Amino acid sequence: MRHFLTLADFSKQEILEILDIAKSLKKDLKAGKYSNLLERKTLGMIFEKNSTRTRVSFETGIYQLGGQGIFLSSNETQLGRGEPIKDTSRVLSSMVDLIMMRTHEHARLEEFAHYSSIPVINGLSDSFHPMQLLADYLTMQECQKDKNPIVTYVGDGNNMAHSWLMLAAKMGFELRIASPKNYEVSPDIYQKAREFAKISGAKLIVTNNPQEALANADVVTTDTWASMGQENEKEARKKAFKGYCITKDSMQLAKPDCIFLHCLPAYREQEVSEEVLESSQSKIFLEAENRLHAQKGVMVWLHQNR
């Protein structure tokens, strides 16, 4: 049984296969053609963390593929009342065809997948956000930024930074991550990415200097400084991340045709300026749309490779 919990579990060829499906489905959709590749299939969507893009893109995606999504918030499942994950997993996987889970600790996803008899997809965990990275790489492909790019991530060493590490390590490009001291990426995840990089030839750089990291970058990306569940740290993080905001001046350190990405929601004048977000270099709304297409690619691929 194949699950989609982290890009670490997939080869470069498999990632490209998924994106090829996504591009084909996107092309068909733009032409007004709908595929029934998942006709009469049901996607169970477990949300222990709220979302806008994840819910709409998955629910729309399964519908466009001929299936149906069922939204399950933590308040609407027995998980919210303390039912063991292994029980919920075995029950739901006997009733639906795919599960998407958006949760807190990554270990919850791993346990759910262990007991599931159907594919489980990571809609987001505290450690990884692989669906977003597929959308990001699809955007890079469409903007012709996927051929030996230099990608710079400036900000918190969070699930987005970890997922960029895995994508770069699998695809073989140069990734620079600039974070303040005490907010760096997980050493264990960084080490795991470095092992993959030995095979792919990726160059992974972790630094506390955003200016050095931005030099000649093809892609610049960031994320909110305080993720969901870290609201009480906002003020402390604002102080720690001073100097890490992506501004017009920051972008001038990168290549002139560099593109800017952000998984959204974006907090203007914190991790990125309004000027950069609304510039021609910003591809954030193409990137957001590509969540729909990338996720359709994953669902179809998992169904075909069960």
From 55, 64, 97, 102, the catalytic residue = 102
**Of 301, 6, 18, 51, which Cα lies nearest the Cα of 137?**
18
173 phi and psi angles, rounded to 5 deg: -110, 175
Beta bridge partners of 154: 178, 222
* 227 assigned ligand-binding residue: yes
From 132, 270, 281, 295, the catalytic residue = 132
From 129, 162, 293, 303, the catalytic residue = 129
* 52 assigned ligand-binding residue: yes
* 166 assigned ligand-binding residue: no
Rounded alpha-carbon distances, angstroms, from residue 12 to 47, 81, 206, 221, 247: 29, 40, 22, 21, 33
Distance separating alpha carbons of residues 279 and 272, to the nearest angstrom: 12
**Catalytic site residue 102?**
yes
* 160 assigned ligand-binding residue: no
**Are 139 and 24 within 8 A, CB to CB?**
no
Q: Positive or negative CA dihedral for 175, 190, 193, 263?
A: negative
Spell 103-125 as b/e; 16+ CB within 10 A means b.
bbebebbbebbebbebbbbbbbb
* 13 assigned ligand-binding residue: no
From 223, 245, 270, 293, the catalytic residue = 223
* 187 assigned ligand-binding residue: no
* 156 assigned ligand-binding residue: no
* 81 assigned ligand-binding residue: no
From 176, 237, 291, 293, the catalytic residue = 291
* 28 assigned ligand-binding residue: no
- Is the backbone peptide bond immediately before 187 cis, with ω within 30 degrees of 0? no
* 102 assigned ligand-binding residue: yes
**Catalytic site residue 262?**
no
* 210 assigned ligand-binding residue: no
Q: At what angle do helices 106-115 and 85-92 cross, to 10 degrees?
A: 50
**Catalytic site residue 114?**
no
Largest CA distance in the chain: 54
**Catalytic site residue 132?**
yes
From 3, 263, 270, 295, the catalytic residue = 263
* 78 assigned ligand-binding residue: yes
* 53 assigned ligand-binding residue: yes
- DSSP character at residue 7: G
User: What number of CA atoms fall less than 13 Å from residue 142's CA on the CB side?
Assistant: 22
Q: Where is the binding site for carbamoyl phosphate, in residues? A: 51-54, 78, 102, 129-132, 263-264, 291
Q: Where is the binding site, in residues? A: 51-54, 78, 102, 129-132, 159, 223, 227-228, 263-264, 291
Q: Where is the binding site for L-ornithine, in residues? A: 159, 223, 227-228
**Which residues carry out catalysis?**
102, 129, 132, 223, 263, 291
